[in-house]
Amino acid sequence: MLTLNLKKGAHHSPYGLLLRGEASTTPFLFNGMYGVMTDASGLYYMRARYYHPEIRRLVNQDILLGNLVEGQTLNRYAYVEGNPLIGIDPFGLATIVIDLPSLPSWLPGWARTILKMAGTRTLGIMGIILSIPGDTPVSQRCQLFYRGDVAGKSEFWAPLVEEAGLEAAKELLSTGSFLELAFEHACSSIDSPFVAITTNRRTATLYAASSNGLVYEIWLPAGMAIFNTENANAVWDSSTNEAVPDDEWLVPLHIGPEFVNSKEGCGGE
């Protein structure tokens, strides 16, 4: 039986105020398992927007319009429609309900996330943040992705972070739309603010072979990776003389060591 000894921890209020613990130990604190990062200013970086825990509001307007059927969505600065006990918003776009007991317990994490998308705005964001995963294994909390890269890696940073720094990458993500940035990423027209991964091990193997590298397993919680619908590229397999579709997923900024060849980021399952 696996026993985990918690060395350090942090406790937050439902709206994200740090009640106890050290804020400097990691940027992944409040909703960190979903990729939300704590900024040096104390704001939470949720991809499309920043969230301020003291005023319980996002600091920018939602790019998606609300509707009369769901009255809370008309307030485009509100966080998770005023219900942080069961809602998260890791992309700064719309509420995702994280606890619906009526869903069957045997459903994999990615399927539960899709089914828990709240409200009539679901169709407006499904193409942005989720797609049906590939045929990689899905554990209780995480799905397996792959990345082909040079040997000796323990974590992965987006090219723009490595080239210009974290703040420059965060600024680009906050000013450009995801679809535009994803398309430019696919065209290699920018230093990308994303780390690219795939559910296709063959594709990852081809990328690894091009740099005499390795294929890394990346275990990520549902919703942390975004399917790149703007990528129509393929990788050429010279051994079979055929093009292999690049099933590309994107993770903003960084994939930490707890997700690389490890399920530690999944709770150690």
Residue range 95-137, pLDDT digits in tens: 777 644 444 454 445 444 544 443 333 333 333 333 334 445 5
Read off φ and ψ for residue 143, nearest 5 degrees.
-115, 150
DSSP 97: E
User: Which one has a higher pLDDT value, 144 or 183?
Assistant: 144
Q: Which of 28-37, 104-113, 194-203 has the lowest mean pLDDT?
A: 104-113
Residue 59: count of CB within 10 angstroms of its CB: 13
Tens digits of residue pLDDT in 41-96 = 888 888 888 898 888 888 888 877 776 766 677 788 888 887 787 788 888 877 77
Q: Taking the model in full, what pTM does it have?
A: 0.53
Looking up tokens 């398309």 gives: 183
36 — pLDDT class (breaks 50, 70, 90): confident
159 — pLDDT class (breaks 50, 70, 90): very high
pLDDT > 90? residue 148: yes
Residue pair 185/251 in contact (Cβ under 8 Å)? The answer is: no
Helical ranges in the chain per DSSP H: 109-115, 122-129, 159-164, 166-175, 178-186, 201-210
Two structure tokens written together for 181: 């940035």
